Amino acid sequence: MLKEIKKKASRKRILLAAALLIIISAAYMTFYYYRDLIFGPPVHFWKEDYMEIGLYPEGYDAAFAVTIDDVSFHTSPEKVRTAVSVLDKFQIKGVFFVIPYDRGKYRFTRDLDVAEVLREAVEKGHEVGQHGLTHIMPRKSIRSVNWAKEFKGLPYGEQRRRIYVGRKILKDAGFTVEGFRSPAFSANFTTLRILEAEEFLYGANVAVYPPPLMMANKRFAESIYYPFYPEGLNLVEFVAHGDYFKMLHSRKNFISLRNRFERIYRRGGIFVLYTHIQHLDPRGLELMRRCLEFAEDRNVWKPNLGEIALWWKAREALWAGSEIEDDVLKITLEKGNELELNGLTIRFKDDVPADMYRIYDGFGSTIEQGSIEDGTVIFNY
């Protein structure tokens, strides 16, 4: 009898502990996903009593980027050319992540027709990024159903070799590569440390998948609204917001995608539309057009990821202070690095107790001046 009582008590403790663990995990996951929702953008200065400084250049409220994976030796030049024409129509710059040595058999070389099309795209402002090396796991390390997880379980030396060799292949093909995305998002912290050591500007190694897959994603993004820095690194990481192009048969795709974009737009975040070149058949291109059409109706910046990374590094380090003296709102700006902030935007709030403004740099020199009634001032700093 006593043993039965003890067993029941033990089961209750186990159930209570399990329930508590579930509650704590749910709370942690909620905080982890929505930390930017709670705290806002991780910049030194955004809003105060008299003014706010835009997160993006030229008065844009948010940013919209398009990335296209799996361009390779086998990719049809016409497929890339068609994708570029769609992007150009909506004045948006895309990032084409290229597999340098597909399956360890097919090297991406300068003389390929698809390489020529990509070089033409780069001249228009589009970007080429590196997508692993072979896009397939080494045979001796295959421990996954998804063989595309090239970097899963690889030691430091092998990861660094693959990143270095892949970048060299793309350089020989005529491209300057600043960004990296691991195949099937197989990067780990070791990968990111190597990217920084190799002086990449940014990585795009995290994805938040469409519901209900979102909660099954094992690598939670530090942020789903803004870029972030992996702990201790100076590498900017971007979050891709789900490949909706894999399920083109679903009528809910566009609605789900649009709703996610709207949430990020309201928070002034960066929406990264993510797809693969093989999915841009007529149905895929139609979905892309619909996405770009609804983004066209919003006040969004449409750069490539390299441009966003450079801007973000400069913007987040900007310090500002203000005071009113003799009917003049004096604003002092100090850069945290040498990067340019062209198109920096300051909006004045209603009822500022001053008629004029004057903006100074960190050395006391005047950058801009004018009337508070202007409402907004846009300048290069």
* Sequence spans of domains, the chain: 57-311, 317-380
Query: In this predicted structure, what is the pLDDT of residue 246?
Result: 77
Query: In this predicted structure, what is the pLDDT of residue 40?
Result: 78
Query: In this predicted structure, what is the pLDDT of residue 62?
Result: 97
Let me know: does 202 contact 129? Beta carbons within 8 Å: no
At 348, the amino acid letter reads: F
Class of CATH domain 57-311: alpha beta
Query: In this predicted structure, what is the pLDDT of residue 256?
Result: 82
At 53, the amino acid letter reads: I
Which residues does the chain have with pLDDT short of 50? 25-32, 212-219
Give me 201's structure tokens: 């500007």
Give me 85's structure tokens: 């024409």
User: Burial of 232 by CB count in 10 Å (0-12 exposed, 13-18 middle, 19+ buried)?
Assistant: exposed
Q: Is the pTM of this model over 0.85?
A: yes
Tell me the per-residue pLDDT of 257-306, one tens digit each, with 9 for 90 and over: 888 899 899 999 999 999 999 999 998 999 899 999 989 989 999 999 99
Choose among 124, 188, 107, 184: nearest CA to 150.
Answer: 184
